[in-house]
Structure 1
Amino acid sequence: MSLVIGEISYTNILPLYYDLDREYLESQGCKIKPQVPSELNREMSAGRVDVGGISSFAYAENKNHFTLFPNLSVSALGKVGSIFLFSKVPIHQLSAKKVALTSTSATSTHLLKIILERFYEQSPRYTTMKPNIHKMLSDHDACLLIGDEAIVASFNKREELYQYDLGELWYKHTGMPMTFAVLAIRNEAIDHNSHLAGTLYRSFLESKKRSEMSHYQPMIKDILKTYGGDKSFWEDYFNNLIYDFSNREQRGLMLYYQLAYDLGYLSEPVESIHVWKAVGS
């Protein structure tokens, strides 16, 4: 049985994929399939993709069908640098205002709702749109962008716009890290091919290790060709991100799930996070 691996092109998750030995993995029966976050969430839910870096919210919606790889996530303790609310008014003045949400992420859109509704007691009107800051702000008061679209928009932000980093806002109000993506595998894939799943897990760990040991320099060199910006920006960006999934990150994620459930954005509470203990031992 082969494993289909969903690969997100966003830079924030790139250290987990950048140094994968793709030729070896493919020779072992893995197939790597490019995806965008919302597409990967759907494909894994439908069983057409076995493994991927999915949004944390998608895990909560599929918690009985997915298991998480240990030691792997995309998290931040404070600024994340690629998830921004751009607003024409201060954040505490968004009640009854129109807020455009990116269609590419579930975790960040619900994180914004938690921040606005629980921490700032704001009740805006939400619309989901394709990520384009100019179209979003043409008839909305604020917009949420994530990933590379958010980074590029921050490079070119109009001076009069307010810009808020959601990771920073979450940390300010909770003192906890926020986990935006997790490495998930469908339970059936573990049941049917645990050996290959373990091989893949160790490959993700090795890619993370290589990226950290090189201080992300080869990867940043490639990123500069595609997205531009300053080398120092990208160095700070990756150094601010957390690619582990320790008890601290898990506690922060459980708080996020609790608040999402309390506000009615999850139909069921998340009682625990199912991490594949055997593969990490």
Structure 2
Amino acid sequence: MTLVIGEISYTNILPIFYYVDRQKLSQLGCTFIPKIPAKLNQDMAEGRIDVGGISSFAYGENADAYTVLPNLSVSSFDSVGSIFLFSKYPIEQLDGKRIALTSSSATSSNLLKIILGTFMNHQIAYDVMEPNFQKMMATYDAALLIGDDAIVTSWNEGNHYYRYDLGELWYKYTALPMTFAVFAVRNQVIVEKEEMVAELYDQLVTSKDESIEQMFKPMIADIQKLLGGPTSYWTSYFNGLSYDLGQKQIEGLLYYFKLAYEKQLITTKVEQVTVWSAYDRHHTIS
């Protein structure tokens, strides 16, 4: 029996994986597969991945088929620091303009549509592209990037364009946190492989707690080898994120789903989130 785990290939989710005992989990039959969010979302929906940190929007599209692991998410209570709209114009002047959306994202692309369409009443022409900033900005008025692409671009190009943090914009209009990713398990897997899921869950929570206790320092040192950046930047970045999934995150998530449904971005209403418990099996939050 195997458990296939999808692992988002971005630094923002790394604290939940950094201290996981991969050797122990491998011996139990777990396999880790790195994916960008969009690909992970697709593979979960098609059954090639059993459990993973999927985009919140992907959960909303498949809420009846997934169960969420408690106490784990990638959220922000204001600025998220790695989801940016880069624009040639102030955001108030984007009505009627053209925006390139990264193909890596689902939650953030639809969040931008909600912010600009519902909150600001802008009419925008959107196209989805590979996350190549120079190509995006060569023919579009603005571009949405997420994850490490957004971070590195903000370092290299941030002073040349208007830059807007989608977590900050969401909080400005809703006073609610935005949950960008949740840890979801296909319902069939919960039934068939619950002990494996329980071991994985314990490891993920332990990694999250250890990362916070260590103030992210060992992890940041490894990230700097790949991406650079000062320690102060990364420390501020990770401290600005929330890796929990409490009542406020659920409230923000359900409001996001409500607005997405009203804009016909998802086809079914999501009025509750099914959360798994090793003790109570599962419960819902609505």
Q: When the two structures are superposed, what TM-score results if normalisation uses the length of structure 1?
A: 0.98
Letter in 1 for 2:178: M
- Counterparts of residues 111-150 of structure 1 (less than 5 Å): 111-150=111-150
Shift of 1:147: 0.1
Q: CA RMSD in A?
A: 1.1
Equivalences for residues 242-281 of structure 1 within 5 A = 242-278=242-278
Following superposition, the deviation at residue 279 of structure 1 comes to 5.0
CA distance in 2, matches of 1:229, 1:28: 37
State the 1:238 CA deviation: 0.2
- Change in Cα spacing, 1:23 to 1:142, as seen in structure 2 (3 Å) is same
User: What displacement does 1:277 show?
Assistant: 2.9
Gaps of 5+ in 1: none
Match of 1:240 in 2: 240
Query: What is the distance in 1 between the residues matched to 2:137 and 2:264?
Result: 27
- Post-superposition offset of 1:280: 7.5
| Alignment partners' CA distance in 2, 1:95 and 1:164 | 15
Alignment of 1:159-174 (within 5 A): 159-174=159-174
Q: Does structure 2 conserve the Cα–Cα contact (< 8 Å) formed by 1:70 and 1:280?
A: no
Q: 2:284: which partner in 1?
A: none
Task: State the TM-score, normalized to the length of structure 2.
Answer: 0.96
Q: For residues 156-214 of structure 1, what are the alpha-carbon distances to aligned partners after superposition, in whole Å with 9 as ceiling and x for unaligned? A: 11534100000000001100000000001111111101111101100100110110000
List alignment gaps of at least 5 residues for structure 2.
282-286
- Partner in structure 1 of residue 51 of structure 2: 51
- Aligned partners of 1:168, 1:8: CA distance in 2, in Å? 22
Q: Deviations over 1:87-139 (max 9, x none)?
A: 00011111111100000010000000000011111111001000011110000
The one-letter amino acid of 2:145's match is L
Structure 1 distance, partners of 2:179, 2:78, is: 11
2-side partners of 1:71 and 1:249: how far apart?
10
SS at match of 1:266: coil
Query: Percent identity over the alignment?
Result: 52
Give the whole-Å Cα distance in 2 for the aligned partners of 1:238 and 1:26.
28
| SS of aligned partner of 2:31 | strand
Distance in 2 between residues matched to 1:202 and 1:151, nearest whole Å: 30
Are 1:198 and 1:279, in contact at CA under 8 Å, matched by a contact in 2?
A: no
- 2:83 touches 2:145 (CA, 8 Å); kept in 1? yes
What SS does the corresponding residue of 1:274 show, helix, strand or coil? strand
Distance in 2 (CA, whole Å) between partners of 1:25 and 1:272 is 31
Q: 1-side partners of 2:123 and 2:91: how far apart?
A: 11
Note if contact 2:198-2:278 (Cα within 8 Å) is conserved in structure 1: no
Residue type at the aligned position of 2:188: E
8 A Cα contact 1:73 1:245, kept in partner? yes
Distance 1:6 1:188 in 2: 16
User: CA separation in 2, counterparts of 1:158 and 1:13?
Assistant: 23
The one-letter code matched in structure 1 to 2:172 is K
C-alpha separation between the residues in 2 aligned to 1:193 and 1:132? 40
Q: For residues 278 and 216 of structure 1, what CA distance do their matches in structure 2 show?
A: 28
For 2:208, give the aligned amino acid: K
